[in-house]
Amino acid sequence: MISLSNLKKFKTEGRKFSCLTCYDSSMAKAMEVAQVDTILIGDSVGMTMQGHDSTLPVTVADMAYHTACVRRANQHALIIADLPFMSYATPSDAIKNAREVMQAGAQMVKIEGGAWLADTVRTLTQNGVPVCMHLGLTPQSVHVFGGYKVQARTRETADQLIADCKALVEAGTAVLLLECVPEQVGREVAELFPHIPVIGIGAGRYTDAQVLVVQDMLGLTQGKVAKFVRNFMTDQSGSNAILDAFRAYHQAVIAGTFPSPEHTFQIEL
């Protein structure tokens, strides 16, 4: 089973690693066979599986349920579970709710925000819970942003994001995840922390790992699809198409062929 030590070793060796969201046992088994390195039980489950228009309605019980479904079927990947909206507003809420998803099978929790969560990161880490910090476009704050928009588009806002990362790493953050930021910001953050793996989604080619929402990369998402998504089903055929799409994604991330420039935000800071 992949551990945090493996992710840190991957970073030191320059070996990129793959991550996909997953919410159920059948997909989790296919991801195990395809050797996907890490799985995120994302609160995107609110949109992909529950039919909501944001992640806000998702509960801790939902996250624990989906984490247990995935863990039962996959003994290979490191499993990260999201703590949902308002479930980590205080450090004591965070440890109470982290307990639920860790006991359901997660090896790490992900929370969204910046330097103001340093105490929460410290408390979680001291209580045996590794933390992945999600910065950039943080979907739980969609109503603050006024929509799903690229973040850190200026030198000033990029420096603010980098200052947040520094404070969070200082507090014990194990992994950073950047969503929808210019490629240059993804690169700067990955280079700044030699021992902290940085996962990107719409954060360019230079992060240490990539994550996609599984429905997006299987071409199941209807309507407008984000610029950073590649549909890995288009090259597949036959009865193992989904499994082969997971294999193709894993290989493309490791080889550095996904994302390509067309999936990145090239914005001059």
Query: 207-226: which residues touch ligand KIV (CB under 6 A)?
Result: 211, 213
- Dihedral Cα 205, 209, 212, 218, nearest 10 deg: 90
Which residue lies nearer to ligand KIV by CB, 40 or 158?
A: 40
179: annotated active-site residue:
yes
Q: How far apart are CA 40 and CA 38, in angstroms?
A: 7
Contact 188, 179 (CB under 8 A): no
Closest CA to 134 of 214, 43, 61, 68: 43
Minimum distance, C-beta of residue 268 to ligand KIV, in the bound complex (Å):
25
Query: 124-153: which residues touch ligand KIV (CB under 6 A)?
Result: 134
The only residue of 129, 201, 245, 253 in contact with ligand KIV, by rule CB under 6 A: 201
Look at phi and psi of residue 42 and say left if phi exceeds 0, alpha if psi is from -120 to 50, else beta.
Answer: beta
Which residue lies nearer to ligand KIV by CB, 49 or 240?
A: 49
Query: 71-100: which residues touch ligand KIV (CB under 6 A)?
Result: 82
* Site string (43-72) toward ligand KIV, x via CB under 6 A: xx----------------------------
- Segment near ligand KIV (CB under 6 A), from 40-48, 87-95, 125-133, 163-171? 40-48
- Segment near ligand KIV (CB under 6 A), from 41-49, 90-98, 120-128, 165-173? 41-49
Minimum distance, C-beta of residue 21 to ligand KIV, in the bound complex (Å):
4
**Widest CA span of the chain, in angstroms?**
50
- Segment near ligand KIV (CB under 6 A), from 42-50, 147-155, 185-193, 248-256? 42-50
- Segment near ligand KIV (CB under 6 A), from 9-17, 23-31, 36-44, 60-68? 36-44
**Total residues at the site for ligand KIV (CB under 6 A)?**
12
The only residue of 100, 164, 179, 188 in contact with ligand KIV, by rule CB under 6 A: 179
Q: Which spans of this chain sit near ligand KIV (rule: CB under 6 A)? A: 21, 40, 42-44, 82, 134, 177, 179, 201, 211, 213
Show which residues are catalytic.
179
